[in-house]
């Protein structure tokens, strides 16, 4: 059994894999919960990907005698990084494209991760990660309009909103929600013009919002980052 840990901006996401099969998921809001879970359970190998917590400390909570790996941009990966500044590349972005490799090993893939930011990651059929794009996520757009103006209120996102808003609140919601759908559809269209057979994979906390609003066929895979982390771990265990 392999343990992979995705330490994000808001919580710890954990995946337990039997080979390539995800058999259990856990979520922890606090480090103490994760620590107790790791002390109480044993695993063959562990990989940690963290953007906000000390990865070395997390690994000390595991008693495994197998491999203990921290995901960094310079770690040996099952993909080729064709990226101008790999040291600045977020480990969550690396994990997402490795997840795409696991799902579609010989195809061009566009990964759209709809989280705090919306990231677009492209890996081609030769396993080369070429890069992509980053834009503000849903909540960030609402917060930006409220923060950088003197009168616009902070409103909440909604799944259903009229195109034509008839109040300040509904106008803000229309602009963000319809605008972000238009962005995602437009980006997918541009990639399809360049790579007609590209597979589009959607993940992230806001992925459910886009699931029925994207015009093109997509694969919604909430566990893509965990799948990618396990793919990286297996790359080190098996080879």
Catalytic residues: 92
Angle in degrees, 0-180, between the axes of helices 168-194 and 138-147, rounded to the nearest 10: 130
Q: Residue 83, Cβ neighbours under 10 Å: how many? A: 17
C-alpha dist (Å) from residue 193 to 116, 181, 189, 190: 27, 18, 6, 5
Which residue's structure tokens are 């109040």?
167
How far, CA to CA in Å, does 216 sit from each of 154, 184, 199, 220, 230?
32, 10, 10, 12, 28
DSSP annotation string for 165-193: -SSHHHHHHHHHHHHHHHHHHHHHHHHHH
Strands 117-123 and 128-136: antiparallel
């Amino acid at each position: 059994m392999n343990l992979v840990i995705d330490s994000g901006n808001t919580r710890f996401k954990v995946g337990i894999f039997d080979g390539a099969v995800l058999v259990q998921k856990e979520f922890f809001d606090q480090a103490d919960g994760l620590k107790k879970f790791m002390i109480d359970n044993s695993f063959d190998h562990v990989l940690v990907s963290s953007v906000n917590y000390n990865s070395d400390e997390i690994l000390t909570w595991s008693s495994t005698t197998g491999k203990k790996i921290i995901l960094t941009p310079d770690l040996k990966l099952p993909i080729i990084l064709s990226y101008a500044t790999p040291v600045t590349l977020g480990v969550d972005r690396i994990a997402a494209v490795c997840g795409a490799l696991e799902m579609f090993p010989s195809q061009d893939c566009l990964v759209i991760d709809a989280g705090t930011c919306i990231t677009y990651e492209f890996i081609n059929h030769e396993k080369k990660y070429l890069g992509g794009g980053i834009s503000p996520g849903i909540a960030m757009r609402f917060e930006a309009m409220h923060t950088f103006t003197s009168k616009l209120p902070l409103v909440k996102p909604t799944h259903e909103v009229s195109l034509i808003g008839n109040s300040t609140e509904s106008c803000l919601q229309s602009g963000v929600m319809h605008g972000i759908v238009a962005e995602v559809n437009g980006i997918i269209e541009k990639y399809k013009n360049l790579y007609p057979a590209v597979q589009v994979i959607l993940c992230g906390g806001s992925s459910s919002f886009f699931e029925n609003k994207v015009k093109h066929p997509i694969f919604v895979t909430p566990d893509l980052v965990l799948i990618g982390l396990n793919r990286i771990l297996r790359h080190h265990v098996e080879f």
